[in-house]
């Protein structure tokens, strides 16, 4: 796209993102963006090519482009846009083309909230369509068997043509958005957006070659309230013009959002409880370990074998509890606001870990094979170290006896994700335990040295990955080793 208007408007306060503007121009063609003072901020190339002239300039009053109206200000009457309904549309307006011809167009205006440095402002996007443009009567494709089925669907369904105009809406739309289907048909679906981010996502889904798929958006109801919906968009067969329309399935996500907020609140309360409890347990534990050391120092010679064994068991249990408290504290801290994500070289982290584990690796004869030139990973450096440390430590703990013990780490990437794989040559994991091992306090068997682990290491890995918006899983069979896979977004 030749960014004619965009280049002129980048310095204008309040301009939406270039991605949104380019998407609007691809979908609707005749687009004008104005601010709350009715000044032109941006215009699509096709609008400039159609009309042009001295009045089509960034910063000019938009009402000057409709000179044949008795009261041009009514088209861009900004005050009327601030009503609760937030949508205005005019069926017939005449604009003057380059050749002096008066062209009747239908104009719809979309008020959009723009977040600039934490402060919200509004811009107004005018979408025009020539009335003389041949177009299919609203709903002409809708009154067939498929439409009769959709009319009875409990979920809201909207169909659009290749220009982003609504051709069909089922009765469930009214329950969700407060607008009967006849108020939506033959109007731009962009009218339902209330913010620049949601409009950008909606346009990206519907524009030619757009990103069709599933999105969560906030749409505007007729009463001015916002509703959070899950939108699934799919392309329809190409029209005569070669453009593809879309069908959108909308589901109310308000209840799910409330449930998620309640779950987040409960998780936060639980994490605070774990944090406080872990701190409270440290004091008596320090006393227990301290007195056991004094007992060994001052009275060790008086203890028989049974007494020394009991003392060993007390100290071992105390150290296990100390490890458990430390792990619980680390688990509760993951995802805190102080974390700083950046591009981290995983090989540098792994070399540090390899140096720290060298005595243990040498003692067990295990080879730790690192990637030679891995891509940079976008994450918190401390959490990345914890992730590798827990995965490698888990492999060393549970490999069991094998002929050539190895732990191999690979880091790769594709267009959207980074992939990490930690593979060992150990005894493997039964398929029925593949999910269980990521739960807190789940340790399938004692470690190689006979110690029982805390069962928190893999739970820490899972939480780190999830707070980085990734996923983790394991592939393994008994006797064939185990491979832990992690997928992280590139940004």
Tens-binned pLDDT, residue by residue, of the chain (491 aa): 444 444 343 334 566 777 888 888 888 888 888 887 878 888 888 888 888 766 677 888 777 665 544 444 455 544 343 333 344 445 567 777 887 788 888 888 888 877 766 677 778 888 888 885 555 544 444 445 567 777 888 888 988 888 888 888 999 888 888 888 888 888 888 888 878 888 888 887 776 655 556 778 888 888 878 888 888 888 877 666 667 788 888 888 876 667 777 777 777 777 777 777 777 777 788 888 889 989 989 888 888 999 999 998 898 888 878 777 777 777 767 766 567 788 899 999 999 999 999 999 998 899 999 999 999 998 888 889 989 998 999 888 888 788 889 999 999 998 888 999 999 998 888 888 888 888 876 665 555 555 555 668 888 889 888 888 889 999 998 888 899 999 988 77
Strand arrangement, sheet containing 214-220: 166-169, 156-160, 244-252, 226-238, 214-220
Residues facing 94 on adjacent strands: 104
* pTM check: above 0.85: no
**Helix 305-333 and helix 254-299, axial crossing angle in degrees, nearest 10:** 150
3-state secondary structure of 276: helix
CA separation (Å) from 354 to 132, 385, 386, 392? Answer: 73, 11, 13, 10
Q: How many Cα atoms are found within 13 Å in the side-chain-facing hemisphere of 476?
A: 28
Residues facing 247 on adjacent strands: 159, 234
86 sits in the region (left: phi over 0; alpha: psi -120 to 50; else beta) called: left
């Amino acid at each position: 796209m030749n960014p004619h208007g965009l280049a002129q408007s980048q310095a204008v306060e309040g301009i939406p993102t270039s991605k949104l503007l380019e998407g609007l121009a691809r979908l609707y063609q005749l687009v004008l963006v104005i601010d709350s003072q009715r000044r032109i901020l941006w215009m699509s190339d096709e609008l400039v090519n159609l009309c042009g002239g001295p009045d089509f300039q960034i910063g000019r009053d938009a009402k000057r482009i409709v000179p044949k109206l008795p009261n041009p200000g009514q088209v861009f009457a900004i005050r009327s846009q601030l009503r609760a309904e937030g949508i205005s549309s005019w069926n017939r307006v005449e604009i003057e083309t380059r050749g002096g011809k008066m062209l009747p167009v239908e104009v719809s205006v979309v008020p959009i909230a723009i977040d600039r440095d934490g402060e919200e402002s509004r811009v107004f996007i005018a979408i025009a369509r020539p009335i003389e443009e041949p177009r299919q009567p609203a709903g002409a494709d809708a009154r067939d068997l498929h439409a009769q089925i959709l009319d009875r669907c409990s979920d809201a369904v909207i169909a659009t043509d290749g220009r982003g105009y609504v051709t069909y809406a089922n009765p469930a739309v009214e329950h969700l958005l407060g607008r009967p289907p006849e108020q939506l048909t033959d109007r731009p679906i962009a009218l339902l957006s209330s913010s620049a981010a949601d409009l950008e996502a909606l346009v990206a889904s519907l524009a030619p070659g757009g990103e069709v798929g599933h999105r969560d958006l906030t749409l505007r109801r007729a009463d001015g309230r916002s509703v959070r919906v899950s939108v699934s968009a799919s392309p329809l067969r190409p029209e005569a013009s070669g453009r593809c329309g879309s069908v959108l399935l909308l589901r109310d996500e308000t209840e799910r959002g409330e449930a998620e907020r309640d779950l987040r609140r409960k998780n936060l309360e639980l994490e605070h409880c774990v944090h406080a409890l872990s701190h409270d347990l440290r004091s008596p534990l320090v006393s227990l370990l301290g007195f056991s050391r004094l007992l060994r120092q001052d009275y060790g010679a008086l203890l028989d074998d049974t007494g020394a064994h009991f003392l060993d068991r007390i100290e071992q249990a105390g150290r296990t509890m100390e490890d458990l408290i430390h792990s619980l504290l680390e688990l509760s801290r993951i995802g805190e606001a102080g974390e700083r994500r950046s591009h981290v070289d995983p090989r540098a982290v792994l070399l540090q870990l390899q140096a720290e584990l060298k005595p243990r690796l040498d003692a067990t004869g295990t080879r730790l094979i690192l990637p030679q030139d891995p891509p940079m990973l976008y994450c918190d450096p401390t959490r990345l170290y914890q992730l590798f440390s827990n995965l490698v430590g888990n492999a060393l703990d549970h490999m069991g006896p094998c002929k050539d013990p190895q732990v191999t780490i690979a880091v790769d990437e594709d267009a959207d994700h980074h992939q990490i794989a930690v593979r060992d040559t150990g005894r493997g994991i039964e398929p029925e335990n593949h999910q269980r091992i990521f739960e807190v306090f789940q340790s399938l068997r004692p470690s190689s040295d006979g110690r029982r682990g805390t069962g928190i290491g893999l739970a820490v890995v899972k939480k780190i990955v999830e707070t980085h918006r990734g996923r983790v899983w394991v592939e393994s069979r008994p006797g064939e080793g185990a491979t832990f896979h992690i997928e992280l977004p590139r940004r």
